[in-house]
Amino acid sequence: MKSNFASNPEVVELLRESAGLNGSDGDERFKAIIHQLLENICTLIDDYNITPEEFWHAINYLHDLGGSKEAALLAAGLGLEHYLDLRQDAIEAAENRETGTPRTIEGPLYVAGAPLADSHDRMDDGSDDGKVMWLHGEVKGTDGKPLANAIVDIWHANTLGNYSFFDASQSDYNLRRRIRTGSDGRYSVRSIVPSGYGCPPQGPTQQLLDRLGRHGNRPAHIHFFVSAPDHRHLTSQINLNGDEYLWDDFAFATRDGLVADPVAVTDPSLIASRGLNGPHTEIRFDFTLTRAQNAQEQQRIIRARAKE
Ligand code: MBD
Ligand code: FE
């Protein structure tokens, strides 16, 4: 039964006091946010008649979530990270800003400081016998002209769906590289075709998803930060066509315009021109960056990241 205990005058005063609203110290906006959060929690307790046992279960869940460093994973799985993208898109549309390659979520597995190379590099350390992938494309402005000195920061999983650094069995920066474009705006990498990702089965994120009747899988995908002088930083990913989870991504990252087709290459002269010894998978993906309106837009969003 729904009660309305949270609107009882004693509770109203309690929440004002606990959010610091009765004092003049502290940050006004932060106090207002915490106050509304507390009101929402108290109303939720009323609306669902949440028991003390359930409340402490939830508190313990937060301990587990933080202890296993899965808060960012849960934010992705609950669609909140995608919500930020949808909201940013709407803000830009309302401002009639030019559009380029769509943004999509960063996810929790970026590591700063990957090796930087001009135009081309190999991303895999040779220890994973996955299919060879030749990933390449062009970085352009909205006028279609190539952008020189763009940095394409690429990261992806191995054939087990694991990312180096978070998976201690991989070498440092395996499957993580930054490529700087030349005057042709082009980047290319040799790597291995990644597999999809699944949430740690025993972790708190998957535990919560289980209770929602949801899976915790992502399609095979490749992450990118793309930046260039005077252009807006882009956080995006491509998701690989043909994957069973392509449009059933637990993190809601797949978007129109971000699906890439893996193509089988068998032409001997093309194989030889790439210095490869046999058939491989080619993925081509071009990026269009929009102009930055201020210096801040050229930077990625500030948030805690590994090695930063
Ligand atoms: C990933 O690889 C990922 O990209 C996201 C968004 C969440 C979990 C794992
Ligand atoms: Fe990922």
The pLDDT of residue 2:
64
- Ligand 1 centre to CA of 240 (Å) is 14
User: Hey, which of 74, 205, 218 would you mutate to test ligand 1's pocket, going by the most ligand atoms within 8 Å of its Cβ?
Assistant: 218
- Measured between alpha carbons, how far is 70 from 51 in angstroms, rounded to an integer? 26
β strands within the chain, DSSP E: 116-118, 120-122, 132-141, 151-156, 176-180, 186-192, 197-198, 217-218, 221-227, 234-240, 259-260, 263-265, 280-284, 287-289
Nearest residue (CA) to ligand 1, atom 2 = 197
Q: What is the DSSP letter of 102?
A: P
- Ligand 1 centre to CA of 108 (Å) is 6
- Measured between alpha carbons, how far is 204 from 199 in angstroms, rounded to an integer? 9
- Measured between alpha carbons, how far is 86 from 7 in angstroms, rounded to an integer? 33
**Domains in the chain, CATH or no CATH each:** 5-50 (no CATH), 74-298 (2.60.130.10)
- Ligand 2 centre to CA of 222 (Å) is 7
pTM confidence score = 0.96
- Measured between alpha carbons, how far is 154 from 135 in angstroms, rounded to an integer? 10
Backbone angles phi, psi at 187, to 5 degrees: -130, 150
- Measured between alpha carbons, how far is 3 from 228 in angstroms, rounded to an integer? 55
Identify which of 237, 152, 136, 133 has the alpha carbon closest to the alpha carbon of residue 191: 133
- Which residue ranges have their beta carbon within 6 Å of ligand 1? 73, 76, 105, 107-109, 197, 218, 251, 253
Task: Tell me the pLDDT tens digit for each residue of 267-283.
Answer: 999 999 999 999 999 99
Residues of the chain where predicted confidence (pLDDT) is lower than 50:
none
Say if residue 174 is exposed, middle or buried (CB neighbours under 10 Å; 0-12, 13-18, 19+). buried
Q: What residues form DSSP beta bridges with 156?
A: 222
- Tokens in use for 9? 């005058």
Task: Tell me the pLDDT tens digit for each residue of 13-46.
Answer: 999 999 999 999 999 999 999 999 999 999 999 9
Nearest residue (CA) to ligand 1, atom 1 = 107
Residue with tokens 């490749």: 222
- Ligand 2 centre to CA of 8 (Å) is 46
